[in-house]
Amino acid sequence: MSPTDPAASTPPQPARRPQARTHHGDTFEDPYDWLRAKDDPEVIAHLEAENAHTDAALAHLEPLRERIFQEIKGRVRETDLSLPSRRGDWWYYGRTIEGKQYGIQCRAPIAGPDDWTPPVLSPEVEVPGEQVLLDANVEAEGHEFFSLGSFDVSNDGTRMLWGVDLAGDERYTVRVKDLVTGEVLPDVLEGTFSGSHFLPDGTHIVYTTVDDAWRPDRVWLHPVGRAGRDEDREIYRDDDERFWVGAGVTRSDRFLIVESGSSVTSEVAMLDAATVATDPEARPRLVWPRREGVEYGVDHAVIDGEDWLYILHNDGALDFELVRARVGAPDVVETVLPHEPGRRLLDVDCFRDFAVVEYRREGLPRVALLDYRTHALTEISFDEPLYAAGFGSNPEWAPPVLRIGYGSFTTPGSVFEYVLPDADPGLLRDGEPGELILRRQVEVLGGYDPADYGQARLWAPAQDGTRIPVSLVWKRSFGEPGAGIRPVHLYGYGSYEHSIDPSFSVARLSELDRGVVFAVAHVRGGGEMGRQWYEDGKLGAKRNSFTDFVDVARHLVESGYTTPQRMVAEGGSAGGLLMGAVANLAPELFAGVLADVPFVDALTTILDPSLPLTVIEWDEWGDPLHDREVYEYMKSYSPYENVREGVAYPRILAMTSLNDTRVLYVEPAKWVARLREVGADALFKCEMVAGHGGVSGRYNSWRERAFQLAWLLDVLGVAEA
């Protein structure tokens, strides 16, 4: 293990300018909060000095970074096409071209109404009738950052819209193109949120906008062909600062669904998609009025000519249940799938002849078909013990096949088509009813063989006796984990009921091929083990997330998998809060901590309702502004306030982006300054043109990951494959 290059410049330490923050009779002197003045030239100068120092301190890793970048690049087929997906009279797909940062959206005509087998396309062979819809490389010319937040084509295939963010602040400008004439229409919708789309007839655009706290709060209807937003009609508005709004059209094209939700409560309203644009008096009709703590989602089905709503809810059902009701009487329900503890229902998607239900069971995501008449579930299963299966791209209302996305830690991302039991065999060139057909698997160049790698799940005991699932992936040639001391890269998140499911990573191979074992600690606060798993890691139980991660690390050490000197922890965003907390709780357990866009000044942020997301976040963390107990609890774990004197911290690398609206750059900037006060070897890198997801462009993203992995491998004392 090599320390930060001693020849590097002295770390830039910002001036201490204490500002008093007083709540509930407690005063905290914050010496670095002045760094949040984003437009202050002194702040920008400090961030640039931090970047220069990090570059100098890690200059010795440049050869390793370049090797890792070339390894990632060498495993990816740079000129490639995605699997075509049928919508209407077209197959839609994406292209990537060697040397180009961004994808290209294309389409080609179907051969006829019975053409349901996706064409086998080749990058080297011209596709008959191909149309290039959007070349993001052209859109990004002259800009350091580019993000596509909306992309949609009207049902009849004649119009396209796209929304672009050129700063990283997740505010998009939407434009429209006539695909028949090639004309770019006068529509320019500035300041929209992501996810804009057409109404089914293509005459209007549905979009959302945000308030001053960056909360999507309004849904609008824009007539295509009009410049600007002056004539747009607001069709929904939610003034409750805890709720986000969004809108979408049911697969049946029958209803425009408007959803408004907080972390714990939701409400759904419906409008007739065919008349909402022509009826200025149209108002959303509530399905169920909001009730605190009740979440639900709605989809539409037509069964024997009658309109039904399929409603997934948690009213008295911790892991959710599925009911249905007639459109005209949403309060009169019948149970479709009753609540079953341990089976966390996640989503329902209604097609003409069946529905698809996604759920979690035994810690892993599953997909099943639902029979409308018998309510029987047919799970679509796979052979691997650890995998993730999910709903794929299925835009059609009555397809003969169902697209399923699939992957594991060792199996590259794949797309299967499940041949539906009632499918007309004349529509398919291959496959039998009930059969899974592999249509595409991401190709990994360089001789990748999944048999060379292993994956497994073990269980680590927490302090309170709870068993914490831990996923492992490794290269078999280095021996089985636990048979000897190995370097370990331990990843965690643990918030918002978000689950870290098995998935393949090309970049991860660069560490596995050097003998590193990659591990995921599925701590409480995530959703891996159902809703209770989430409840046991939020609000007043949040510390469970941190102690679970520490207990997993201790278990790996005590069971002979690794040592503290050979273990690095990583987490991002809310997982960055996890990193800051465990660094304070158990600095002796890790050689390094990689914190990406880390939420490490949590209490300061959640105390300020004027900041983006704060009020919404009170359902996740509690309201420290008005509740003394919440204030004291958050102050007990917030990383910035709890940096410890007199302990040896692991090496720390914090990375963020200047324009991140979700976790402000000032949080890691303050945290690193405080860590340096107690002698920690902490480095800070701030992308000056990027957002919450980091830099844009695939080559830039690969280089960013190579930067992180080179640092991580250096901490672990591993350099060569």
- H or E element at residue 136: helix 136-139
Query: What's 453-475 look like in SS3?
Result: EEEEEEEEECCCCCEEEEEEEEE
CA atoms of 335 and 369, how far apart (whole Å): 17
Q: What is the pTM of this model?
A: 0.93
Secondary structure of residue 591 in the 3-state scheme: coil
681 is annotated as an active-site residue: no
Give the other-Cβ count within 10 Å of 334's Cβ: 10
Strands 244-249 and 255-261: antiparallel
Give the other-Cβ count within 10 Å of 692's Cβ: 18
So what's the pLDDT on residue 14?
A: 96
Catalytic residue among 85, 204, 692, 714: 692
Catalytic residue among 353, 536, 623, 660: 660
Quote the longest CA-to-CA distance of the chain: 76
The answer to whether 132 and 654 have CB atoms below 8 angstroms apart is no
So what's the pLDDT on residue 424?
A: 65
CA atoms of 333 and 412, how far apart (whole Å): 42
Buried b (16+ CB within 10 A) or exposed e, 478-517: beebbeeebbbbbbbbbbbbbbbbbebbbbbbbbbbbbbb
Q: Quick check: is 79 in a domain?
A: no
pLDDT in tens, 396-413: 999 999 999 999 999 999
CA atoms of 686 and 671, how far apart (whole Å): 13
Q: CA distances (Å), 460 to each of 285, 466, 470, 527, in order?
A: 48, 8, 7, 17
DSSP code of 13?
-
In this model, does residue 57 exceed pLDDT 90? yes
Closest CA to 204 of 227, 192, 187, 221: 221
Residue 527: band (very low, low, confident or very high) from pLDDT cuts 50, 70, 90 = very high
Q: Quick check: is 513 in a domain?
A: yes
So what's the pLDDT on residue 125?
A: 82
Q: Quick check: is 61 in a domain?
A: yes
The answer to whether 158 and 224 have CB atoms below 8 angstroms apart is no
Secondary structure of residue 642 in the 3-state scheme: helix
Q: Which two tokens stand for residue 362?
A: 């035994």
Query: Which residue has better confidence, 537 or 281?
Result: 537
So what's the pLDDT on residue 638?
A: 98
Closest CA to 242 of 293, 179, 304, 287: 293
Question: For 564-574, what is the mean pLDDT?
Answer: 97
CA atoms of 618 and 377, how far apart (whole Å): 37
So what's the pLDDT on residue 2?
A: 47
In this model, does residue 56 exceed pLDDT 90? yes
What proportion of the chain, given as a percentage, has pLDDT over 90? Answer: 87
Question: For 583-597, what is the mean pLDDT?
Answer: 98
Residue 60 maps to which CATH number? 3.40.50.1820
Residue 122: band (very low, low, confident or very high) from pLDDT cuts 50, 70, 90 = confident
Secondary structure of residue 245 in the 3-state scheme: strand
So what's the pLDDT on residue 7?
A: 47
Average pLDDT, the chain: 94
CA atoms of 314 and 322, how far apart (whole Å): 9
573 is annotated as an active-site residue: yes
Closest CA to 165 of 692, 599, 655, 610: 692
Catalytic residue among 260, 262, 266, 573: 573
So what's the pLDDT on residue 213?
A: 84
In this model, does residue 295 exceed pLDDT 90? yes
Structural domain for 477, as ranges: 41-74+447-601+639-716
Q: How many domains does the chain have?
A: 1
Q: Quick check: is 97 in a domain?
A: no
Q: What share of the chain is helix, strand, coil (3-state, %, to 5)?
A: 20, 35, 45
Length of the chain: 721
The answer to whether 104 and 96 have CB atoms below 8 angstroms apart is yes
Q: Quick check: is 25 in a domain?
A: no
Question: For 323-333, what is the mean pLDDT?
Answer: 96
Q: Quick check: is 31 in a domain?
A: no
Q: Quick check: is 17 in a domain?
A: no
2 is annotated as an active-site residue: no
Residue 1: band (very low, low, confident or very high) from pLDDT cuts 50, 70, 90 = very low
Question: For 154-166, what is the mean pLDDT?
Answer: 96
Tokens 């370990």 belong to: 488
Question: For 165-172, what is the mean pLDDT?
Answer: 89
Q: Quick check: is 536 in a domain?
A: yes
As beta bridge partners, residue 206 has 197, 221
Find the angle CA(632)-CA(38)-CA(48) to the nearest 5 degrees: 110
Q: Which two tokens stand for residue 512?
A: 């596995």
